[in-house]
Amino acid sequence: MVQSNHDESFVGSILEFAQRLTDKSLPHLLDASIIATNTRNRGNSGNMVQELYFGFPRSNKRKPDFAKAGLKLKNTGVEKNPNGEYRAQERLALTNIDYESIVNEDWESSELLSKCRTVHIKCAR
């Protein structure tokens, strides 16, 4: 596990700590034996980043992962295509849509728009 030294109440600190992942693979950061035992689990790279890099357990709850900063962690691995281009391993969803209640939602106060306003995108290989 990586020594987590970021301020969980400050978005800038979380992003700075996340930035250290740029241009690195999980084997560069984590114990290779842990990675080797978890190669078939879909979404596992995201779980390992959350648990072993940021140091908190995964959760399926809709609340922010970094509650004090109001920030939700989303990540996915990348794969290199035969033509040399990179692509996301899997799609990322910002939220699930409740088709029964969405008709009663006001767009300006919707959960989706709220999440979109806090998106910080970083693409790294």
Q: Does a structural domain hold residue 41?
A: yes
pLDDT at 71 over 80: yes
Q: 24 Cβ partners below 8 Å, 6+ apart?
A: 124
Averaged pLDDT, 51-75: 82
Q: Does a structural domain hold residue 67?
A: yes
Q: Which two tokens stand for residue 92?
A: 């990322």
Number of folded domains that form the chain: 1
Q: Does a structural domain hold residue 1?
A: no
Q: For residue range 32-45, list pLDDT tens digits in order.
A: 666 555 555 555 77
Domain span including residue 59: 11-116
Q: Does a structural domain hold residue 27?
A: yes
Q: Does a structural domain hold residue 70?
A: yes
